[in-house]
């Protein structure tokens, strides 16, 4: 690996078993583009499948069977932890009990994956226990540049729907991150559109969906979560020690 670290973030793939392989094809197209940009790692920030079905995870497993770079998964509100453990062979970095939070240590940038989904619910939640785990985990490597990856955006997007089903206790996440200046980026998905925010000192990047884009409803009377003709895509995050991070939207 050169002095540049390139992370491909693919989100909200919503792989289905009844769409003639359309969502899986978009995921594979995104991974092929990541390969063309020589991504050192790929992280999928949740909503891997659409309805938590076993056959959807089988389709997902086929789509990601030969990734062009080390591939890391995390759940979104459309995912089932048990199915992820059981039906996605080779992803043995996933914890075998409890939530699916973990750390990727072996790149120039440390990646902390935070599983804050609530089974059966659409919103996310940062529990005190999970916040304590995150605080300990960040304290273990205070001098290494770090990305935190989660599914739900930890800031107000001003969307009438997604702020109701976002990350509850986002202020607690900001409180933890504020104690750890090595956190350089927070990356997430869920909203199906590119947006940018802040969590303590760290810029937050929301990736689009590879399958479809939602419009923004900011005012009463505007359609809630309309599907738009905007281009689906993924995010490329490039890091160097001298320049830090640059993040790019990559259309499909």
Domains of the chain plus CATH, in order, are: 4-251 (3.60.21.10)
Is 129 a residue whose pLDDT tops 80? Answer: yes
Q: Give me Rg for the CA atoms of the chain.
A: 17
Q: What is the pLDDT of residue 1?
A: 54
pLDDT digits (tens, 9 = 90+) for 31-40: 999 999 999 9
Rounded CA-CA distance 96/156 in Å is 33
The answer to whether 73 touches 32, Cβ cutoff 8 Å, is: no
Q: Give which of 194, 197, 158 is closest to 174, Cα–Cα.
A: 197
Q: What's the predicted TM-score (pTM) here?
A: 0.96
Positive/negative CA dihedral, 184, 93, 235, 149:
negative
- 95-119: per-residue pLDDT in tens? 999 999 999 999 999 999 999 999 9
């Amino acid at each position: 690996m050169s002095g540049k670290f390139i992370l491909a973030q693919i989100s909200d793939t919503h792989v289905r078993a009844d769409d003639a392989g359309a969502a899986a094809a978009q995921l594979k197209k995104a991974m092929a583009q990541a390969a063309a940009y020589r991504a050192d790692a790929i992280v999928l920030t949740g909503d891997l499948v659409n309805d938590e079905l076993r056959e959807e995870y089988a389709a997902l497993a086929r789509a990601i069977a030969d990734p062009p770079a080390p591939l890391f998964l995390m759940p979104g509100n459309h995912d089932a932890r048990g199915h992820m453990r059981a039906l996605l062979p080779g992803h043995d970095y996933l914890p075998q009990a409890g939530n699916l939070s973990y750390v990727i240590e072996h790149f120039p940038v440390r990646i902390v994956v935070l599983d804050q989904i609530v089974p059966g619910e659409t919103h996310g939640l940062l529990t005190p226990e999970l916040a304590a785990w995150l605080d300990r985990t960040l304290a273990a490597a205070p001098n290494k540049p770090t990305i935190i990856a989660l599914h739900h955006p930890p800031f107000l997007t001003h969307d009438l729907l997604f702020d109701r089903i976002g990350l509850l206790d986002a202020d607690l996440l900001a409180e933890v991150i504020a104690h750890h200046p090595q956190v350089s980026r927070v990356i997430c998905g869920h909203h199906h559109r590119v947006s940018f925010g802040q969590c303590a000192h760290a810029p937050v990047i929301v990736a689009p969906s590879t399958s479809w884009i939602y419009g923004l409803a900011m005012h009463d009377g505007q359609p809630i979560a309309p599907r738009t003709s905007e281009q689906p895509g993924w995010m490329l995050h490039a890091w160097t020690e001298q320049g830090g991070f640059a993040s790019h939207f990559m259309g499909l």
